Structure 1
């Protein structure tokens, strides 16, 4: 009996050892799967979306954005934009073909009549022979094409996608920004194409926007009611104005009706009449540049005359409820950050302690411009996130000014909601920015794990962003790259803004015309090349709130040009579980006219803080760090992270436990010795 018990005991011990080994193997397998998932997400983020619509035409957009968003870095724009192409005369048949092609294209159909006419004028002919490649997969693109005659085939990685024939448009993403071609287009026959380069397109759109803006500014300055306003205030009014069209005999305003709207005539003529003894008596005739209804902006009045369109009329109008008379803020002098005593030679990498990459240096993130590595000091006192960027890559993408400006901004910033820059270094291959390490990880990673956030978490995350915006905008800095990937958590659960590569200093009342940002987060005025300012940050704030609450942004597609078309349509579809307050703040932040957006009207960012969605937020306590952050439950506990630990988690781990894992990059960047970084 004793012998049997001993054997049974040995069998149980053996089984326990087998179970422990299986558990260890299972854990290792889970770790490998997680690493593969991370690597897959990274590869997906490197893969650009197709420029060509699928043949099936029944694409279903994904409910959740599963890969990191691709960013679009702006190209430097010359101060004076000149159209170098000479106008090419077209027959009526050719003009009709081009106009129809533009009108049926998802993106180009948003151009107005004047822009379309200019495109028709400036398209030039390109001829290709049978077998010629018009576009090669992987090459840089700067032209779009409309098929005038002939047939072409579209292939990707040798796989046939579709045929192109007369009237088809292709390659249109290239006129918006510099992107790699993702498919090959080959001529199946002799082919005649209408072609336009990016610089020509941007010049058409930008020059028209600048001209219209200057024209409207001139018109507003002739108004007795508005003549005392400064350029900042007049610019805000222009941003709030809507373009409206009237047909012949349409009544624009009626005598005796309540006055709500002020009008400027852009095209056509308006007849002004008064009722005299039951008959309409003509008082005057107004034309381009003249305005009417200005009293509606300053007091409750009734219309004193009737204004009727005499033929087709186009006006710009502003409703008195949209009136913006925001005081210009004087730019502050940037505060100087304390000089760092950190030396490059004191920094050493932190290594993975376990798993597939054990012994390799820890990489916290990988982006289009470089890697972020976890570093510590020789004395192992503090952890840092070191951004390491290839100088050759910066020069190739013409981003020298952006990098210098990013360093300048971060050096001057003293804000608890923006990541701190401790030091900057350079050598012949890289520039290095040594940043504060936020041990809680990325909001992006947490959002993917959770699927979507509950409202208290979304409110807290957004409130932190609002505080960062308030600080930046007061210093006349636009951020322009808001998304969950650029929000980090510290160990208290507070959110910090990172990555200032697209930030820009802008004088109030001025506009900038670069095409920059993340497609899903771009404001309509960037896509339209109309000129943009601080209002784009409020648009992206609305998109962020939507993505935090839903798990994906409101405008998404596998094809960038479809994203842009949806943004320009501006239709927001809300899931049934969103609260009324959520829907209200998103719709007010994502108004198509920048001057009507919450945060960009008379009271500025105060209107955002005072919205009922933030009714539970104590802004003062947030600023002084006295709120218990609901985000802290998202953070896994580290055994040692810069001397502070998170209290809510069952498993301890290394200080990088809240970050995805990335394989070691053993390639070394080429040297770059042009000297652009001498002041870095």
Structure 2
């Protein structure tokens, strides 16, 4: 196979396109397109595919580096044995695409489920259930040394049994496993991140950093090398990541500041997700990327309403200083979870929402979908528009409106060799994640 990294040799089952029945295209992300497929054994799988040419065009200096992230995600997925995390069902490799198959979740994602609620928000009891499962999933990841780094409702799927499943690990990284011995000792009154910045009159560096961030793509291969605005040498962990990575409205302050980050960024993201489930919007969204980053670094979350355990938990999760942010043990012992049986939750037979059985397996398109042509069509447009343009990583929160606004005219003109790309992009159920 051309341009294949040695990591592609894997013990995972190999999938052949000719043995898969493509039922529909489910959606697309920054790096791939996901299809619902049926195997010869009548098993439904979500097949994530990535175009080789797209990887290699962006990594001309070292084509293998483009595959590194794919194989890292594959290795992470193949290690999972947890009811709230996906299992790698097989690896796909052709001359044009690479990818892998995972369990299919018929309930859609948490963001879609929230929007179906009467007021586009969840009740406290429903939030508690999903929060518990998110904590358990993150606890397992951290215990395995994995920092997730992209927790958002679009990456939380609902399984057939109503329990959640975290997906999309291409922004994850591995650090030393989280253990009680590595936890930092909190000081009584440490300086706040932004307060230190303000006291030291770092406004020039501040706006330089924001401009640098706003004019660069958020990706796992980018690092922020600007001056450390808030030095924490006495608190720094030995093992940290400096990659500037994540989804704009969910980024933790320490990622924006470039001081290095560890497992605590996931607890910040959890706070953003809980806030969004409670209020129907993220807490720091600005009119543009620069304003969003400014709000993340300087503004307290607006926790409207009476004081409740949930609002208190969100406040503690959205602590800007990662060394003062609430820890795993404190989260599980928080008053919001006082009645929770942590060992029983994943076995709960009646979660808040259980997907209605569907006959989707029998709804394969009349026309044959050519996966390779379909993916080529999507990324042909993507490559044309990527040149000189900063991607909006919060587009997942705007879905089809941004898709049409950014790509409408060009997508209508793509030659898709009969694979039905235009129809899918026009379909509101085809999501951008």
TM-score (norm 2): 0.64
Aligned to 1:441: 108
State which of 313, 323, 328 in structure 2 corresponds to 1:595: 323
Q: Does 1:455 align with 2:124?
A: yes
Q: Distance in 2 between matches of 1:558 and 1:421?
A: 39
Aligned to 2:285: 556
- Is the 8 Å Cα contact of residues 342 and 422 (structure 1) preserved in structure 2? no
Aligned to 1:52: none
Q: Distance in 1 between matches of 2:291 and 2:320?
A: 17
Q: Does 1:581 align with 2:309?
A: yes
346 and 458 in structure 1: CA distance in 2 versus 1, 3 angstrom threshold: same
- Is the 8 Å Cα contact of residues 535 and 597 (structure 1) preserved in structure 2? yes
Q: Write out aligned runs for 1:66-215 (5 A).
A: none
Aligned to 1:571: 300
2:21 is paired with a residue of what secondary structure? strand
Q: Write out aligned runs for 1:183-332 (5 A).
A: none
Q: Write out aligned runs for 1:467-478 (5 A).
A: 467-478=136-147
- Is the 8 Å Cα contact of residues 638 and 654 (structure 1) preserved in structure 2? no
Q: Does 1:523 align with 2:190?
A: no
Q: Does 1:424 align with 2:91?
A: yes
Structure showing greater radius of gyration is: 1
Aligned to 2:40: 378
- Is the 8 Å Cα contact of residues 538 and 589 (structure 1) preserved in structure 2? yes
Aligned to 2:351: 629
| Superposed displacement of residue 654, structure 1 | 6.0
Deviations 1:215-254, CA, capped at 9 Å, x for gaps: xxxxxxxxxxxxxxxxxxxxxxxxxxxxxxxxxxxxxxxx
Relative contact order higher in (CA < 8 Å, ≥ 6 apart): 2
Aligned to 1:411: 78
2:339 is paired with a residue of what secondary structure? coil
345 and 655 in structure 1: CA distance in 2 versus 1, 3 angstrom threshold: closer
Q: Distance in 1 between matches of 2:122 and 2:130?
A: 10
| Superposed displacement of residue 341, structure 1 | 7.3
| Superposed displacement of residue 463, structure 1 | 1.3
Q: Distance in 2 between matches of 1:434 and 1:456?
A: 33
Q: Does 1:638 align with 2:358?
A: yes
542 and 514 in structure 1: CA distance in 2 versus 1, 3 angstrom threshold: same
Q: Distance in 1 between matches of 2:86 and 2:375?
A: 28
573 and 654 in structure 1: CA distance in 2 versus 1, 3 angstrom threshold: farther
Q: Distance in 2 between matches of 1:626 and 1:555?
A: 34
Q: Distance in 2 between matches of 1:389 and 1:461?
A: 30
565 and 460 in structure 1: CA distance in 2 versus 1, 3 angstrom threshold: same
Deviations 1:337-374, CA, capped at 9 Å, x for gaps: 99547654321111xxxxxxxxxxx1111111121001
Aligned to 2:195: none
| Superposed displacement of residue 585, structure 1 | 0.5
1:566 is paired with a residue of what secondary structure? helix
| Superposed displacement of residue 392, structure 1 | 2.2
Aligned to 1:483: 152
Q: Distance in 1 between matches of 2:364 and 2:111?
A: 18
Aligned to 2:270: 541
Aligned to 1:609: 332
State which of 29, 34, 51 in structure 2 corresponds to 1:390: 51
Q: Distance in 2 between matches of 1:405 and 1:338?
A: 14
417 and 476 in structure 1: CA distance in 2 versus 1, 3 angstrom threshold: same
Q: Distance in 2 between matches of 1:442 and 1:526?
A: 25
| Superposed displacement of residue 418, structure 1 | 1.0
Q: Distance in 1 between matches of 2:240 and 2:310?
A: 30
Aligned to 2:19: 346
| Superposed displacement of residue 598, structure 1 | 1.1
Q: Distance in 2 between matches of 1:391 and 1:561?
A: 33
TM-score (norm 1): 0.41
Q: Distance in 2 between matches of 1:667 and 1:430?
A: 9
- Is the 8 Å Cα contact of residues 389 and 430 (structure 1) preserved in structure 2? yes
Aligned to 1:367: 29
Structure 2 alignment gaps of length 5 or more:
1-9, 60-65, 178-236, 366-372, 381-433
| Superposed displacement of residue 617, structure 1 | 2.3
| Superposed displacement of residue 655, structure 1 | 10
Flag the structure with higher helix content: 2
How many residues end up aligned between the 2 structures?
Answer: 295
| Superposed displacement of residue 561, structure 1 | 0.5
Deviations 1:538-570, CA, capped at 9 Å, x for gaps: 110111100011111100023001000000013
- Is the 8 Å Cα contact of residues 38 and 44 (structure 2) preserved in structure 1? yes
2:89 is paired with a residue of what secondary structure? strand
